[in-house]
Amino acid sequence: MNDPFKQAGDNRKVLSADEDADGRLDAYLADALGGEFSRNRLKGLIEQGAVRIDGAAVTEPKRKVRPGDRIEILLPEPEDPEPKGEDIPLDVLYEDDDLIVIAKPAGLVVHPGAGNWTGTLVNALIHHCGLSLSGIGGVRRPGIVHRLDKETSGVMVAAKNDAAHRHLSDQFADHGRSGPLERAYQAIVWGRPRMLRGTIDAPLGRAGDRTKRAVKKAESDDAREAITHYEVTERYVEQPDGTALAAMVECRLETGRTHQIRVHMAHIGHPLVGDPEYGAAFRTKANKLDAATRAVVNAFERQALHAYLLSFEHPATGETMSFTAPLPADMEALATALRGAHAAA
């Protein structure tokens, strides 16, 4: 007979009652697990046979815990709360019965997840669009067909019915290879790429945790194709040797991987200004700027990345729709400071 405790893997927790252990089993576990589960939830788990002491099943929540007891518990998979509508302001660029286009501000998480169960774009869309979003794309991602990082600003589109969701999702999966989908970003980077225009073709994969990414060899198990086209559009504090202390770069995606632009620009030696993950080692570059500009740069605490252009085919009419959003105030202030900057004396 299969032993569920042996098969539980990471969902199986083993505790050893210390010498001061006393009281009911449900109360002891509620305290020992640091409030992760309520006492009532633990009482139910005990009654369901999910707890055993010294190898024997225990189904009485009031069973006394004794010093030295070896307690095993099968923890249930966490249940993700269903997002609710929240009255969060949206900068709506366009809306009809099939879709909504918004300019997402920096700091807004797209969909609920660990540490961000409320206050997301999804919560705002549910409030704004009502029941039309229900179930489209999954409970936690209703209407969402693509995403931007929390601290990246710019244009996004969301679907308002199943047909629109399928059509838009297919376009993003195709990356514009056979249709009008186009995504363009503005980024402020350290230095200036040697080639003013180029293509970065470097596969990406996980870099040790759930979200961070790194360039990988193509033969790596988790490597996924990633291609970014870039063009330098402005150069800041140009040097006599033709280099610059910073630059504005336009990036266009041929693929859409997590953190793609951020990783690719760092890979060629020009990470985004303010990027805490991939550009932290370059923060001292600000010391090469005059004091006033240095203060503006040091106060900029997010990656300087803005999705300024999004084009796609309307899922119902077939019309090519194109939307732009100007640089947000913080990035405009950063660019303005850099335009007037000079090298530190």
Residue-range domain boundaries for the chain: 4-74, 80-171, 175-345
Q: What is the pLDDT of residue 7?
A: 47
Mean pLDDT lowest among 139-143, 221-225, 326-330: 139-143
Q: What percent of the chain has pLDDT over 90?
A: 60
Candidate list 26, 69, 149, 330, residue with the active-site label = 149
Nearest to 275 by CA among 338, 189, 202, 174: 189
- What is the rounded distance in angstroms from the CA atom of residue 38 to the CA atom of residue 61? 13
pLDDT band at residue 82 under the 50/70/90 scheme:
confident
Q: Residue 119: how many CB atoms within 10 A of its CB? A: 14
pLDDT band at residue 137 under the 50/70/90 scheme:
low
Section 17-41 average pLDDT: 79
Whether 127 contacts 134, CB under 8 Å = no
**Do 80-171 and 175-345 agree at the fold level?**
yes
Local structure of residue 80 (DSSP, 8 states): P
Q: What is the pLDDT of residue 216?
A: 92
- What is the dotted CATH code of the domain comprising 175-345? 3.30.2350.10
Q: Residue 109: how many CB atoms within 10 A of its CB? A: 21
Whether 310 contacts 156, CB under 8 Å = yes
Second-level CATH architecture of 4-74: Roll (3.10)
Q: What is the pLDDT of residue 81?
A: 65
Nearest to 126 by CA among 106, 140, 105: 140
Section 120-143 average pLDDT: 78
Mean pLDDT lowest among 83-92, 99-108, 201-210: 201-210
pLDDT greater than 90 at residue 79: no
pLDDT greater than 60 at residue 18: yes
- What is the rounded distance in angstroms from the CA atom of residue 52 to the CA atom of residue 62? 13
Mean pLDDT lowest among 16-30, 58-72, 284-298: 16-30
Using alpha carbons only, what angle is made at residue 21 by residues 20 and 25, rounded to the nearest 5 degrees? Answer: 170
pLDDT greater than 90 at residue 198: yes
Tokens of residue 232, six digits: 């330098």
Q: Bigger pLDDT: 165 or 79? A: 165
pLDDT greater than 80 at residue 41: no
Strand-pairing partners, residue 264, are none
Q: Bigger pLDDT: 18 or 327? A: 327
Sign of CA dihedral 272, 276, 277, 282: positive
Q: Each residue of 175-189: pLDDT tens digit?
A: 888 889 999 999 999
- Residue 222 annotated in active site: no
| Residue 307 main-chain phi, psi, to 5 deg | -85, 90
pLDDT band at residue 114 under the 50/70/90 scheme:
low
Q: What is the pLDDT of residue 136?
A: 63
pLDDT band at residue 14 under the 50/70/90 scheme:
confident
CATH topology of domain 80-171: Pseudouridine synthase (3.30.2350)
Q: Are strands 305-313 and 153-159 parallel, antiparallel or unpaired?
A: parallel
Q: What is the pLDDT of residue 5?
A: 46
- What is the rounded distance in angstroms from the CA atom of residue 277 to the CA atom of residue 295? 21
Strand, helix or coil for residue 316? coil
- pTM for the full predicted model: 0.76
pLDDT greater than 80 at residue 203: yes
The most distant pair of C-alpha atoms in the chain lies apart, rounded to whole Å, by 80
Section 278-291 average pLDDT: 93
Q: Is 328 left (phi over 0), alpha (psi -120 to 50) or beta?
A: beta
Q: How far is CA 116 from CA 95, 150, 152, 274, in A?
A: 26, 11, 16, 22
- What is the rounded distance in angstroms from the CA atom of residue 146 to the CA atom of residue 169? 8
Those residues whose C-beta lies under 8 Å from the C-beta of residue 29, and which sit 6 or more positions away, are 15, 37, 42, 46, 51, 71, 73
Mean pLDDT over the full length of the chain: 88
Strand-pairing partners, residue 182, are 311
Which DSSP helix (H) or strand (E) runs through 323?
strand 320-324
What stretches of 76-181 adopt beta strand conformation (E)?
A: 92-95, 99-104, 153-159
Q: Each residue of 220-264: pLDDT tens digit?
A: 888 899 999 999 999 999 988 878 999 999 999 999 899 999 999
Q: What is the pLDDT of residue 156?
A: 97
